[in-house]
Amino acid sequence: MKQITAEQLKDKLGQNGDFYLLDVREEYEHEDFDIGGTLIPLGEVMSKAAEIPTDVPVIVYCHRGIRSQIAIQRLEDKFGFTNLVNLQGGLEKWER
């Protein structure tokens, strides 16, 4: 599974690169702390897979990086995604 660190993502956000941010946390978590991107909670990610782009890197994140890993594994296994990148340590690392 491809990984990106919080520092690397912060650099990427500053460069306005071509990528997609996917937050797989719950709505209340997203409202509390939001770094941008689209919210699709883990429980809905499979039913909304068609909304996730396949032509740019998709950086998937959650609080600690566990749910994002689960989402990536499911999307890769069921739909064959090859462009998914996990935010290592999630937003917990981002805030440090």
Please provide the CATH number assigned to the domain covering 2-94. 3.40.250.10
Return the H-helix or E-strand segment holding 26. Answer: none
User: Amino acid identity, residue 69?
Assistant: Q
Rounded Cα distance between 12 and 71, Å, is 22
Q: pLDDT: is 59 or 15 the higher one?
A: 59
40: which residues sit within 8 A by CB, 6+ positions away? 22, 23, 24, 48, 51, 52
Nearest to 4 by CA among 81, 55, 65: 65
Question: What is the model's pTM?
Answer: 0.95
pLDDT tens digits for 5-30? 999 999 988 887 789 999 999 999 99
Q: Where are the alpha helices (DSSP H) in the chain?
A: 6-15, 27-32, 66-79, 90-94
